[in-house]
């Protein structure tokens, strides 16, 4: 969701459960160790400076590219390895050595510098992490789409299984190219037509009715609502198509770029909104108004 829209996201095999080895216990390594421990996955850490006081973790002092250190860490029985030092050459050396000892390993590889992209592409790890790139993309996405940050936080609270189900749903519908993510507020600047409709209408307006194609309302737009925040700060994750929209609602959407443009047209144009919600095609613009008047005056003229 934070990738550049249109970027191809390659499907990868799921990380296996079992014993893992991590090399390099810096800031990045600590985050991964914490994540693995939360899943109750056993892990051995190889680092030049293990803690002086023993803890519950299994430590090996040394360099992850060293065969003796890897063997002591149990690499031949492990299911995965994480090379997470701040040196790209060292990380590549670690995983090359580890795969010689155990070709079945799931490999997570940290890339620090973009200049080394060709080397990392040649190795073909299961998962390559570029922390600076991730941070930059996430910051840009959050700055341009403010609702994305609280939505991502909510995902983290729901756990891996919930997130995996959502990923399957999104890739099943939109494929493996990063979709467009955007937010909309039901207010005068962003949705004047809908805001006027809500003030005049006595009946509820379901979210799903708004997500119809303005050229053919029998077709749905290629987008989905991910998150809704009401004016009273009440929030709804993955709002249903029958959820009624209200003035002041903030909505986070995901979908294709064309769907975003179509939805903006619906929210801003009263004639388009009338067609999308009710199926009534009302002439819009001066020319259509003149033609409509002529047709009303001389019914047989059309």
Taken in order of first residue, the domains within the chain and their CATH numbers are: 20-144 (3.40.50.720), 146-302 (3.30.70.1450)
pLDDT of residue 31: 84
Residues 6+ apart with CB under 8 A from 123: 92, 95, 96, 109
Residues 6+ apart with CB under 8 A from 245: 186, 194, 198, 205, 206, 207, 210, 251
Per-residue pLDDT of the chain (302 residues; tens, 9 = 90+): 655 566 666 666 677 889 999 999 988 888 888 888 888 899 999 998 887 776 778 899 998 889 999 999 999 999 999 988 888 888 889 999 998 999 999 988 888 766 556 665 666 676 666 654 544 455 555 556 778 888 988 988 888 889 889 988 998 998 888 889 999 999 999 999 999 999 998 889 999 999 999 999 999 999 999 999 998 989 999 999 999 999 999 999 999 999 999 999 999 999 999 999 998 877 654 445 455 556 556 655 44
pLDDT of residue 285: 40
Q: What is the pTM of this model?
A: 0.61
pLDDT of residue 75: 95
């Amino acid at each position: 969701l934070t990738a550049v829209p249109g970027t191809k996201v390659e499907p990868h095999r799921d990380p296996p459960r079992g014993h893992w080895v991590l090399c390099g216990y810096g800031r990045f390594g600590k985050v991964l160790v914490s994540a693995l421990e939360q899943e109750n996955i056993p892990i051995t850490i190889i680092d030049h400076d293990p803690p002086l006081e023993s803890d519950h973790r299994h430590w090996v002092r040394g360099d992850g590219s060293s065969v003796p250190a890897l063997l002591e860490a149990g690499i031949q029985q492990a299911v995965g390895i994480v090379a997470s030092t701040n040196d790209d050459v060292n990380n590549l050396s670690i995983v090359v050595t580890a795969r010689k000892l155990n070709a079945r390993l799931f490999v997570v590889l940290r890339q620090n510098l973009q200049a080394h992209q060709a080397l990392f592409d040649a190795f073909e790890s299961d998962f390559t992490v570029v922390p600076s790139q991730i941070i930059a993309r996430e910051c840009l996405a959050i700055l341009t789409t403010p609702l994305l940050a609280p939505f991502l936080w909510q995902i983290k609270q729901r756990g891996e299984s919930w997130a995996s189900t959502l990923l399957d749903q999104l890739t099943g519908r939109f494929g493996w190219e990063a979709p467009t993510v955007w937010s909309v507020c039901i207010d005068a600047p962003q949705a004047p037509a809908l805001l006027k409709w809500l003030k005049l209408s006595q009946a509820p307006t379901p979210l799903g009715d708004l997500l119809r194609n303005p050229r053919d309302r029998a077709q749905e737009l290629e987008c989905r609502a991910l998150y809704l925040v009401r004016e009273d700060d009440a929030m709804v994750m993955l709002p249903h198509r029958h959820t009624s929209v209200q003035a002041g609602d903030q909505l986070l959407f995901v979908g294709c770029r064309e769907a975003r443009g179509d939805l903006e047209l619906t929210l801003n144009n009263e004639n388009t909104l009338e067609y999308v919600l009710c199926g009534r095609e009302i002439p819009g613009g001066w020319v259509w108004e003149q033609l409509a008047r002529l047709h009303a005056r001389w019914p047989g003229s059309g």
